[in-house]
Amino acid sequence: MKGNQEIKKQLEEIPFKLKRRLRIFDRGSAPYIEVDGRQMINLTSNNYLSLATDPLVIEGAVAAVKEDGAGAGSSRLIAGTSARITLLESKLAELKNTERALVTTSGFTAALSAIVALVGRSDGIVIEKSSHACLISGARLSGSKTIFFRKNNLEGLTRALKKLRDRSKRLLIILDGVHSMDGDIAPLPEILNIAEEFDSFLLVDDAHGTGTLGPNGEGIFAHFGIKPSEYVIQMGTLSKALGSQGGFLAADKAIIDLFIQKSPAFIYTTGLNPAAVGAANAALDILAKNNERVVNLRRNISAFCKKIGIQTSKTPIIPIVIGGEKETIELSNKLEAAGCLTLPIRPPTVPKGTSRLRLSVQSGHRFFVETSEHASEERYLVLLRSRTAE
């Protein structure tokens, strides 16, 4: 088949060192893992609060499977809505300070569900260029008139809204609360003012802010001390700081009802599996009980940044921008040889010339402990310090 041969040729043209590969890890979310028989520190996982391997979270997953079975068995609108998932939605709504929440099978599904239901061909979207692929895919799928603006560029956002205002029935601003490749936080108060000025809905992807920002991990709105208004939709995942799987949307009751009625990605997808629901419920119970993990995460972030000689980050995402793809991969390999697992990020995930190591700090790391328990830490820290000093 001609098409198949073309695909093989296309794959062969990718340089060996730049090819993406699937590697097998045991407990790959843990802060310290074993790779090829060697103990390593793991700076790749989004398991920010180290809840994915917490015994209580695992017990929550096991109990849910024993009582509800291995799978949901049908979509949420048939028989896929359990008492457990309803309880989870109540806890998420409380965490996000909204009237309701809706759990989906993934963050990607949550994005598609929200955007396609809320806007269509007669509407307008203004979205950050650096937004996550799920948000960009949702904008394109909606068929709405779409204008991209540079991250945190309030003037560009305002200009785009002015262009769309008179030819759009409904406006929607889409942005990342915490930028997944840079770790910086969106200027939410200013963006909210602009959204109100243009009578626009605002969808904030708080995937990386949930569990990490706010006094008790509530997210970006609590970080700024702002109560979400009726035109705000918060999107998030259960798979990062909460250590489980799945996504969610949190908003006013009317908006959540619209998603249930009008979102094909929600309507025609089997409900989230009981294990993920049970784990997420247990994770939220731990967060509600105390903020010890959130505090430990921030202590680790501060200590790690100090150890590698950079300014303290407000989030657990710490990018080390290298530039070239080859150089980034080489540094990642050197770090792995020194006992540190890192994630090289390359185009198209980031713009050409900005390849980087995306380092993720966890609550379960021990950076704030003065004496390192792992000799390998010193070797990889020297490598990182040498790079940040350039």
* Residue given tokens 């499977």 in the structure block: 65
- Cβ-based neighbours of 74, under 8 Å, separated by 6 or more: 80, 270, 271
Report the predicted TM-score, pTM, of the whole model to 2 decimal places. Answer: 0.92
- Distance of CA 66 to CAs 54, 71, 79, 82, 246, Å? 19, 11, 18, 14, 20
**What pLDDT does residue 20 have?**
77
Q: How distant is the alpha carbon of residue 209 from its chain centre?
A: 8
Domains of the chain: 17-48+316-388 (3.90.1150.10), 55-289 (3.40.640.10)
State how beta strands 355-360 and 317-323 pair.
antiparallel
Q: Mean pLDDT of successive 10-residue segments in the chain (390 residues)?
A: 80 78 82 89 96 98 98 96 98 99 98 98 97 96 97 97 97 97 97 98 98 98 97 98 98 98 97 99 97 96 93 96 92 93 88 94 84 58 81
- Provide the angle, in degrees to the nearest 10, between the axes of the packed helices 375-388 and 325-337: 160
**What pLDDT does residue 378 have?**
73
Instruction: Output phi, psi for 75, to 5 deg.
Output: -70, 165
H or E stretch at 140: helix 133-142
CA distance 270 to 105: 8
**What pLDDT does residue 103 have?**
99
State how beta strands 340-341 and 32-35 pair.
unpaired
* Residue given tokens 């790391």 in the structure block: 365
For 143-158, letters b (16+ CB in 10 Å) and e give ebbbbbbeebeeebbe
- Distance of CA 140 to CAs 28, 114, 177, 266, 358, Å? 33, 13, 20, 18, 27
H or E stretch at 360: strand 355-360
* Residue given tokens 């390999």 in the structure block: 333
